[in-house]
Structure 1
Amino acid sequence: MRFTFFLLTLLAAGCQARPPQESAASHSPSRVAPDARLRETRWVPRQLAGQLVAVPADTQEPYLLLRADGTAEGNGSCNRFRGTFFSEQAGELKFSPLMSTRMACAAIAIENEFTRALGQSSTYRISGDTLLLFNATNAPVARLEAVYLR
C-alpha cells in the first residue's frame, strides 16, 4: 500500500505542467521590476508638459543620457545637446544651460518643449522604467522611459 501511494505521488509530481519554480504564484502581478538607474540609462521622453510625445516620421527619437561624470547629453530630435546636471541630494535633478546645435526640422516644437522641461527640472522620481521630472513647485514637467539597447 505504501509503495502504491509513493508511486502515485511520484507520478503526479511528474505530470505537473510547469516546474515548481515556475508555479502560478511566481507569476503573480505583485512582483515589481527594480527601478532603472538615473545615470547611464537612455531616457526617452514620452510626455512633455502634459502632452504625449509623437515624433514625426523621418526624425530622430529624442533622448537624454546622464553620465556618471555629471555630464548630460542627448538629442532633442533635431539637434544634439550637452551640458551638466546636478543631483547632490536624494531626488534632486537640475541641469546647467544646455549647449546645442541649431538645425531646424519637423520636430523642433518637441525639441523646444524637451529642453524647456530639462531647464525647469528641480526634482525627479524613478518608478520601474519611468523617470518623472518635476519643477520647483513640484508640478510634473516630463515623463521619460528607460530604453535599453540590445
Structure 2
Amino acid sequence: MRSLFFALPCLLLVGAACQRTTERGNSAPMVSSITPDAPLRETRWVLRQLAGQPVPAVEPNGQEPFLRITGAGTAEGQGSCNHFRGGLKPVTNDGELQFGPLLSTRMACPGLETEQKFTQALDSTRAYRVAGNTLLLYADAERTGTPLAQLEAVYLR
C-alpha cells in the first residue's frame, strides 16, 4: 500500500510533465525566418550592385559607398572617396523616391568610376522597394526591370 501511495504521485508528475512539454511545444510562439523590412530613413544603406552588377571591392584608399536618408528628408552618403548631400523631391505615392540635386566633394580616387555610376543611379531614381535588409532603387514608378542600384542595410554597433 505504501509503495502505491508513493507511485501514484510519481505517475501524476510524469504525466503532467509530458503534458506540459506537449502544450509548450504547441503553444510556443513561432520564430519567423522572415527578416522585417529595414526602415528607409535613418539606415545606412551600403551599395552592393549597380544595374545588376556587383560593386567592385573597395580600393585601399577608398571607402564603401553608402546612402543614408535622414528623418528630416535629406540624402547623404559617400561614393568611394567623395561625400555627397542633397534633398529629396516631394512625392505623391508610396514607393516613389526622387533625389534633388546632390552636392559632392570632388576628390579623385581609384573608385571614381563606381562613384559616378552610383551618383547617376541616384539621379535617375524614381521609386524604391525595401525587402528585408535590401533597398532596391528603380528608374520608373512601377518598379519594373533591373534595379538601378541594390543596397544593403548595415547596422553600426
TM-score where L is the length of structure 2 = 0.79
SS in structure 2 at match of 1:9:
helix
Report % sequence identity.
50
What is the number of residues matched between the two proteins?
143
Aligned-CA RMSD value: 2.5
Q: Distance in 1 between matches of 2:149 and 2:113?
A: 15
Q: How far is 1:56 from its partner?
A: 2.1
Q: How far is 1:108 from its partner?
A: 0.6
Q: How do 1:1-150 and structure 2 match up within 5 A?
A: 2-9=8-15, 20=24, 26-27=30-31, 30-54=32-56, 55-86=58-89, 88=91, 89-136=93-140, 138-139=144-145, 140-150=147-157
Structure 2 gap segments, 5+ residues each: 1-6
1:95-150 Cα distance to aligned partner (Å, 9 max, x none): 11211011111111110111111011010000111000100273310110011111
Q: How far is 1:79 from its partner?
A: 0.2
Q: How far is 1:13 from its partner?
A: 7.8
SS in structure 2 at match of 1:119:
helix
Q: Distance in 2 between matches of 1:24 and 1:69?
A: 41
Structure 1 gap segments, 5+ residues each: none
Q: Aligned pair in 2 of structure 1 residues 113, 75: CA closer, same or farther (>3 Å)?
A: same
Structure of higher CA gyration radius:
2
Paired AA for residue 86 in structure 1? K
Q: Distance in 2 between matches of 1:123 and 1:2?
A: 69
TM-score where L is the length of structure 1 = 0.83
